[in-house]
Amino acid sequence: MCGTPTPLSARTPRKSARPTRNIFWAGSSGRWAWRKAVPSRTKAQAPVQIRMTNDERMTKPEYPSLPSEAQGDSQAFNRRDFLKGGSVATLMAMMGGVPLASCSAQTNPPASGEIKLPPPEAKVGVIGLGTRGREIVNALVPMEAHVAAICDTYPAALSRCAREVPKATQTKECQSILDDKEIKAVIVATPTHQHKEIVLAALKAGKHVYCEAPLAHTIEDARAIAQAAKAARQQIFQAGLQNRADPERIFLVPFIRSGALGQMAVVRAQWHKKQSWRFPSPNADREKAINWRLDKGVSLGLIGEIGCHQIDEVNWFLNARPVAVTGFGSITLWNKSNKDGPDNREVPDTVQATFEYPDGMPLIYDATLANSFELDYQIYYGSYSAVMLRDNKAWLFQEVDSPQQGWEIYARKDQFYGTKGIALEAGASKSVQVKKPVEEPPFTHTTLAFALEAFLRNVDDLEAGLAPVRDMIKDDPEALTTALSTVKKRAAAGYHEGFQATALAIKANEAVMAGKRVELKPELYELS
């Protein structure tokens, strides 16, 4: 079946006794299509996989306004190629939604889904080279970021990272990085309780700052960081809530907020990983420094240090904040006698928390260091459908009475825990391109990589945008506001999102440690 498909605006909706509603769907490059939902089918629907390719990024944290009608022209496709490849992007074009000029042989992106961009220009320094700091350095290397300096007080940590970035200056004093005028940006990956002093000094020195989340271990310190970042208008401040820079999640935000899942009932999230959180150390002083997460005086525990990312994602997706949290924590494994003797830790290795939202909907969260089964995921349960996020992918599970969107019959079928599911890759024309319907190139970007790239690209864009007008905007706040409005930013978490996520994490840890319910008043989330 060839030829140009009929535009959606010219089609006659299918007649049905059931009411219908508009369904919005996103495709390549942030473009949008819409169509009338068709009546429910009689059988329960299997999962629909939702995924974006690596190059599909939005440039603003807010999701775009939905157009009143389908956009663009549609390409003509050969039915045999379409059925062979199973590309949902092709399907969307056949439905009259997303223009797929990029699906032609001449303009198709590489099979990996990557578009090669010039390396970020800004010189960056990484402060803190523990486990997280090494992950950050390893993520910066493939994007050819200019890592000019690395800093840690522990010589072994410096030498390990130096193997990845041999040209970077090594230092034990972060002040030397802040004093270097050539270094425009710093990434702070020290223990949480050390963030405040370093971040405030970096902002004062005029550096752009990426600060790992949570921002601090006290609300007062987190507020001080956020207020300083707010005042530094000519500098980028990004909180390390990396999920907010992930194209997959950016794609899902308007879908979930649109009400496509029906009435939200409950959200579940978990993080399971069997590990002790304790690292070997050569002496008592180093043991205390390296195992700070086991010190309840400075650590926010599993719910704060790990859970803050998933909990923030839920708040972002739902555009809501909880009004109360009830927590519970225990040491179920790592304080027991084993071959190495008692662990003697005070921070729980297993935690549970229930967050209450204004409409009564709960978020149920649990994390453990005692077992790795099912690792980490988030599931959003609505009256029409549920969405599961895990492993950089998302699946849609439809209820029997869920309004159908029409494209399900064409989508690829996969097995999901013994259930034959429907795989959807939004904007993914790769399977048509490579002519192998069952093979898919690996997803090479992590959420951390997306977040770091967003930070460095935003730094480059802001520096380039303000450079010609710095003298004019120096003492003119209004001119500065105008200049800043012309600089487009990639989606990422800012100081306000970082503060709110940190404040909530601190209160959640308080509930876990005390085993009680804690009310979350509106002023908790207010910066001033």
The amino acid sitting at 433 is: Q
DSSP codes of every residue in 281-343: -SSHHHHHHHTGGG-TTT--HIIIIIHHHHHHHHHHHHT---SEEEEEEE--STTS--TT---
Mean pLDDT, the chain, rounded, equals 78
Whether the pLDDT of residue 473 is over 90: the answer is: no
Q: H or E segment at 509?
A: helix 495-514
Exposed/middle/buried for residue 13 (C-beta within 10 Å: 0-12, 13-18, 19+): exposed
Whether the pLDDT of residue 440 is over 50: the answer is: no
How would residue 81 be classed by pLDDT, with cut points 50, 70 and 90?
A: very low
What does the pLDDT read at residue 230?
97
* Residues linked to residue 125 through DSSP beta bridges, in sequence order: 149, 186
Q: In the structure, how many helices (H) and strands (E) does the chain have?
A: 16, 19
How would residue 323 be classed by pLDDT, with cut points 50, 70 and 90?
A: very high
Handedness of CA 486, 201, 303, 353 (dihedral sign): negative
CATH pick for 123-243+446-508+520-525 out of 1.10.3720.10, 2.130.10.10, 3.40.720.10, 3.40.50.720: 3.40.50.720
Joined together, the tokens standing for residue 459 give 């730094």
Cis check for the bond before 214: say yes or no (omega within 30 of 0).
yes
Joined together, the tokens standing for residue 387 give 């969405």
Which has the closest alpha carbon to 332: 317, 345, 318, 319? 345
> What does pTM read for this prediction?
0.78
DSSP designation for 101: G
pLDDT digits over 266-275, tens only? 999 999 999 9
| Cα(304)–Cα(505) distance, integer angstroms | 5
| Cα(63)–Cα(47) distance, integer angstroms | 24
DSSP codes of every residue in 42-88: SSPPPPEEE---TT---SSSSPPPPPSS--S------HHHHHHH--H
| Cα(181)–Cα(172) distance, integer angstroms | 18
Q: Which residue has the higher pLDDT, 423 or 491?
A: 491
Handedness of CA 464, 147, 238, 58 (dihedral sign): positive
> What proportions of the chain, in percent to the nearest 5, are helix, strand and coil?
35, 20, 45
What does the pLDDT read at residue 159?
95
Handedness of CA 505, 506, 507, 512 (dihedral sign): positive
Residue carrying the six token digits 């959606």? 8
Asked if residue 299 lies in contact with residue 347, where contact means CB atoms within 8 angstroms, the answer is yes
Q: What is the mean pLDDT of residues 301-313?
A: 98
Asked if residue 444 lies in contact with residue 116, where contact means CB atoms within 8 angstroms, the answer is no
Exposed/middle/buried for residue 457 (C-beta within 10 Å: 0-12, 13-18, 19+): buried
Q: What is the mean pLDDT of residues 47-58?
A: 47
Residue 11 CB neighbour total at 10 angstroms: 13
| Cα(70)–Cα(211) distance, integer angstroms | 40
Spatial CB neighbours of 388, under 8 Å, sequence gap ≥ 6: 47, 377, 378, 379, 380, 394, 395, 397
The amino acid sitting at 409 is: I
* Residues linked to residue 127 through DSSP beta bridges, in sequence order: 151, 188
pLDDT digits over 335-356, tens only? 876 666 667 788 999 999 999 9
69-94 as b/e, with b when 16 or more CB fall inside 10 Å?
Answer: ebebebbebeeeebeebbbbbbbbbb
CA dist 149 to 138, 171, 183, Å? Answer: 14, 7, 8
Q: Where do the structural domains in the chain lie, given as residue ranges?
A: 123-243+446-508+520-525, 263-382+509-519
Checking DSSP bridges between strand 412-416 and strand 419-423, what pairing results, if any?
antiparallel
pLDDT digits over 1-21, tens only? 444 444 433 434 443 444 434
The torsion angles phi and psi of 92, rounded to 5 degrees, stand at -60, -35
Spatial CB neighbours of 213, under 8 Å, sequence gap ≥ 6: 239, 240, 241, 308, 309, 312, 493, 498, 501, 502
Whether the pLDDT of residue 362 is over 60: the answer is: yes
| Cα(44)–Cα(392) distance, integer angstroms | 25
Joined together, the tokens standing for residue 194 give 């050390």
The correct answer on CATH 3.30.360.10 for the domain covering 263-382+509-519 is yes
pLDDT digits over 474-520, tens only? 778 888 888 888 898 999 999 999 999 999 999 999 999 999 999 99
Joined together, the tokens standing for residue 154 give 């522990």
